[in-house]
Amino acid sequence: MASATFVTSAVVDNTTNDPLDLLITLEVTPGSVASNKQVLLYAKASLDNTNYQSGPESGTTATDEPNLTLIGALPCNTNSTLQRGVFSVSGAFGGALPPYLKFVIKNETGAALAGSGNALKVAEVTGEVV
């Protein structure tokens, strides 16, 4: 993934298990970092799995980037070293998860990310109401 580009995950469907939150693990290995030295994690929400909030999903056009919901920033200060961060999603949406989400990653490290070993992992946080 080149620097200053966006990439989007598959849809995460929260309607089946109704999780209280999602914990996202983002793993990336940058090249020789410069610039902002970070990878940004955003979300795009949908109520119907058809109409998602505006914002880029791929490429380098950042015009509508402010329309995305920021989940967090993963600092990448060390060259060629795996960086890993865990982020909670529900707080970015006022404590309630939207029914459907896509996650958008923006590489701001100033270098391309490694060709393999990068990952976005989703874990549901569930609970029982008594």
Q: What is the mean pLDDT of the chain?
A: 95
Share of the chain above pLDDT 70, in %: 98
Tens-place pLDDT, residues 40-83: 999 999 999 999 999 999 999 988 999 999 999 999 999 999 99
CATH code of domain 6-125: 2.60.120.260
Q: Spell 21-41 as b/e; 16+ CB within 10 A means b.
A: bbebebebbbeebeebbbbbb
For residue 105, count other CB atoms closer than 10 A to its CB: 21
pTM: 0.94
Pick the closest to residue 104 from 76, 62, 49 (CA basis): 62
The pLDDT of residue 99: 98
**pLDDT for the residue 127:** 85
The backbone torsions φ and ψ at residue 65, rounded to the nearest 5 degrees and listed phi first, read -55, -40
Report which of 38, 53, 62 is spatially closest to residue 93, judged by C-alpha positions.
Answer: 53
Token pair of 29 as six digits: 């290995």
Locate the domains of the chain by residue range.
Answer: 6-125
pLDDT at residue number 128: 74
Q: What is the pLDDT of residue 48?
A: 98
